[in-house]
C-alpha cells in the first residue's frame, strides 16, 4: 500500500474528477431524454413531473440508471486507468468473516443514533436569512424527490424500494467515494484521517442537504474507517445499505400507519444521545479492528506459504 503510484495522486484526482464530470453530463442527457420520451413532455417539464406520485416507477428506474452512470462508470474507468486490476483497486476482495459483518451491523445502529443527534445539532446552526431560505429550499426539493419514490403501498413495492433506494445507491456510492476517491485523498495527503474526512465531506455535500450535512459526513467517516481498516468495499456497502434500508423501512411503516411521510423522515434525536452513541461506536470499532486484524493476518500467512 505504500508503493509510489505510477500516476501521481494529484493527477489521479484530476482524472477522476474529469471522468466524474463527463459522466454527470452523460447522465443528465440520458435521464432527461428517457423521461421526456416516456412522459411525452419537454425535457425540463418531464424531469419535474417525475416527482409526481403517478410517475414513481419511472423515477425509481431512472434514479437507478443515474446512480450507475454517475458513480460506477467513472469509478471503473478510473480504476482501470490507474491499476491493471481495477476491481482489486476498488476494494473488491474475498477477505471477510461473519464477525466483521456482525460488528458492522452493531456499528450501523450506533451510527444512526449518532447521526440523529447530529441532525438535531445541524438544525440549531444559525444561518443568515438568505442562506437559511436557500438551504431550506434545497432540503424541501431533496425530500420531495425522495418521497416521490418512497410511495410504497404494498410489500412488493417495499422490496423494490429496498433495491432502488437502499441497495443500488449504497453499492454505487461506496464504489465511487470509498473505492475510488478515498485512496486518492489518503495517498495525496499521506494521512488516513485527512483522506477519510475529505471524502466524507464531499460525500455529504453531493446530497445537497444542509440540514443533513453533519449526519451524512459522520456516516461517511464511519464508512471510510471501515473501508480503510478492512481494505474491503463489501463491508462499507453493507453498512451503507443497512442505513438506507432502515430509512426505507421507516417510510414504509409510516405510510402503512397513515403518518405523514414528512414526519416519518424526521431523523433528529436528543443531542446527548449522540455522546453516548459516539462512545459505543468507538467500542464497536475496536472490536471490528481486532477481528479485521485476524482476517488480514490470515491473508499474510497465506501469501507467504
Domain boundaries along the sequence of the chain: 91-304
- Map residue 125 onto helix, strand or coil: coil
What mean pLDDT comes out for the span 288-305?
74
User: Residue 104 and residue 194: Cα distance in Å, rounded?
Assistant: 22
Strand stretches in 124-195, DSSP E: none
For the chain, percent of residues with pLDDT exceeding 90: 66
Helix, strand, coil in percent for the chain, rounding step 5: 80, 0, 20
| pLDDT for residue 1 | 47
- Confidence check: pLDDT of 144 > 90: no
User: Residue 120 and residue 127: Cα distance in Å, rounded?
Assistant: 15
| pLDDT for residue 70 | 97
| pLDDT for residue 305 | 37
C-alpha cell at 222: 464511519
For the whole model, what pTM was predicted? Answer: 0.91
What mean pLDDT comes out for the span 46-72?
89
Amino acid at each position: 500500500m505504500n508503493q509510489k503510484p505510477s500516476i501521481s495522486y494529484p493527477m489521479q484526482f484530476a482524472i477522476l474528477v474529469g471522468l466524474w464530470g463527463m459522466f454527470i453530463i452523460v447522465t443528465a442527457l440520458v435521464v432527461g431524454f428517457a423521461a421526456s420520451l416516456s412522459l411525452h413532455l419537454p425535457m425540463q417539464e418531464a424531469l419535474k413531473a417525475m416527482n409526481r406520485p403517478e410517475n414513481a416507477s419511472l423515477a425509481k428506474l431512472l434514479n437507478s440508471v443515474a446512480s450507475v452512470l454517475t458513480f460506477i462508470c467513472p469509478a471503473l474507468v478510473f480504476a482501470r486507468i490507474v491499476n491493471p486490476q481495477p476491481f482489486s483497486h476498488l476494494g473488491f476482495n474475498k477477505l471477510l468473516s461473519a464477525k466483521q459483518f456482525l460488528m458492522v451491523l452493531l456499528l450501523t445502529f450506533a451510527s444512526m443514533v449518532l447521526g440523529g443527534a447530529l441532525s438535531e445539532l445541524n438544525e440549531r446552526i444559525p444561518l443568515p436569512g438568505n442562506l437559511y431560505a436557500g438551504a431550506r429550499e434545497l432540503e424541501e426539493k431533496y425530500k420531495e424527490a425522495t418521497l416521490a419514490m418512497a410511495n410504497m403501498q404494498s410489500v412488493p413495492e417495499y422490496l423494490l424500494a429496498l433495491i432502488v433506494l437502499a441497495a443500488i445507491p449504497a453499492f454505487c456510492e461506496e464504489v465511487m467515494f470509498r473505492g475510488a476517491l478515498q485512496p486518492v485523498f489518503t495517498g495525496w495527503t499521506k494521512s488516513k484521517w485527512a483522506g477519510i474526512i475529505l471524502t466524507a465531506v464531499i460525500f455529504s455535500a453531493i446530497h445537497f442537504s444542509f440540514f443533513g450535512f453533519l449526519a451524512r459526513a459522520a456516516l461517511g467517516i464511519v464508512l471510510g474507517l471501515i473501508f480503510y481498516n478492512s481494505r474491503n468495499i463489501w463491508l462499507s456497502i453493507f453498512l451503507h445499505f443497512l442505513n438506507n434500508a432502515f430509512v426505507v423501512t421507516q417510510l414504509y411503516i409510516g405510510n402503512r400507519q397513515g403518518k405523514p411521510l414528512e414526519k416519518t423522515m424526521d431523523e433528529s434525536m436528543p443531542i446527548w444521545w449522540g455522546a453516548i452513541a459516539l462512545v459505543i461506536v468507538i467500542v464497536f470499532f475496536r472490536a471490528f479492528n481486532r477481528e479485521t486484524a485476524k482476517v488480514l493476518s490470515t491473508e499474510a500467512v497465506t501469501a507467504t506459504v
